[in-house]
């Protein structure tokens, strides 16, 4: 693993790492070369905005399989801390809400090959002991049939508390896969946090809604989330 944030946050703290230039694009270029040489590479950035500063290098990395007719599928996981407000990224985006998730998804991503971004939203407040899931698959933390609450990482504990006393399903986002089906199952939706980075995979899911959806900002407390649930249920 390499990068200016190497080994300082999330599931990979205190492991042996290689620092890199402060240029995120240069770091990704180095990672691409290492991956083409057969290495599995984890790049650690210090903030999500680094993805935009490295946009050209990330686009080159993402296009390598197509440009090489499948001969090269470099295994590179780009990890960023913070929320899931990750936009316009040309590779799949996955989310880890706890350190065990991060380790599980890194293993799966490296085994699958190709490039991806893993948003490390590990807060220590998310419930542990959650069953493993396929790479990028959402996880049901609470069953419900009336409304779907989509949440990740730092907001999970408050979302679960806010759903108490309601018939709300609380779904932890780990990627875009199968979210459309989760939303369609209830027809009503509350979004908690900054999650546009994974909404690109929802396609026509919003056409299945039976009421206007409500967004709750990242860091909102349980009372605000419960109010949003009641608003959607009453619409």
Domain with CATH 3.40.50.920 in the chain: 139-234
* Three-state SS sequence of the chain: CECCCCCCCHHHCCCCCECCCCCHHHHHHHHHHHHHCCCCEEEECCCCHHHHHCHHHHHHHHHHHHHCCCCCCCCEEEEEECCCCCCCCCCCEEEECCHHHHHHHHHHHHHHCCEEEEEECCCCCCCCCCCCCCCCCCEEEECCCCEEEEECHHHHHHHHHHCCCCCEEEEECCCCCCHHHHHHHHCCEEEECCCHHHHHHHCCHHHHCCCCCEEECCCCCHHHHHHHHHHHHHC
Nearest to 4 by CA among 25, 27, 35: 27
How much is the pLDDT for 209?
A: 87
Domain with CATH 3.40.50.970 in the chain: 10-120
What is the fold of 139-234? Answer: Rossmann fold (3.40.50)
How much is the pLDDT for 176?
A: 73
Going across the sheet that includes 139-142, the strands are 139-142, 168-172, 147-151, 189-192, 214-216
Nearest to 79 by CA among 19, 14, 12: 12
Asked if 28 contacts 43 with a C-beta cutoff of 8 angstroms, the reply is yes
What is the fold of 10-120? Answer: Rossmann fold (3.40.50)
pTM: 0.83
Per-residue pLDDT of the chain (235 residues; tens, 9 = 90+): 777 666 555 555 556 666 677 788 888 999 999 998 988 899 988 888 888 888 899 999 999 999 989 888 889 999 888 765 677 788 888 888 777 788 888 889 998 888 999 988 776 565 666 667 788 888 899 999 999 999 887 788 899 999 999 999 999 888 877 788 888 889 999 999 876 555 665 666 778 789 998 999 888 999 999 999 999 998 7
Task: In whole angstroms, give the CA distance from residue 102 to residue 10.
Answer: 7
């Amino acid at each position: 693993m390499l990068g200016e944030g190497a080994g300082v946050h999330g599931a990979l703290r205190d492991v042996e790492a290689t620092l890199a230039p402060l240029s995120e694009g240069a770091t990704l270029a180095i990672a691409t070369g290492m991956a083409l040489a057969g290495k599995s590479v984890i790049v650690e950035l210090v903030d999500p905005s680094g993805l935009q500063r490295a946009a050209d290098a990330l686009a080159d990395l993402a296009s390598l399989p197509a440009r090489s007719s499948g001969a090269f599928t470099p295994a590179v996981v780009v990890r960023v801390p913070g929320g899931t407000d990750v936009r316009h990224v040309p590779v799949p985006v996955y989310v880890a809400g706890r350190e065990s998730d991060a380790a599980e998804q890194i293993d799966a991503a490296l085994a699958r090959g190709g490039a991806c971004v893993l948003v490390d939203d590990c807060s220590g407040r998310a419930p542990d002991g959650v069953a493993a899931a396929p790479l990028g698959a959402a996880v049901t933390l609470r069953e419900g049939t009336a409304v779907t609450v989509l949440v990740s990482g730092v907001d999970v504990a408050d979302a679960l508390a806010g759903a108490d006393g309601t018939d709300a399903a609380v779904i932890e986002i780990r990627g875009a896969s199968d979210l459309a089906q989760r939303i369609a199952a209830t027809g009503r939706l509350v979004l908690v946090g900054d999650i546009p980075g994974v909404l690109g995979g929802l396609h026509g899911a919003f056409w299945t809604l039976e009421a206007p959806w409500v967004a709750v900002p990242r860091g909102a407390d349980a009372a605000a989330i419960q109010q949003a649930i009641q608003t959607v249920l009453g619409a």
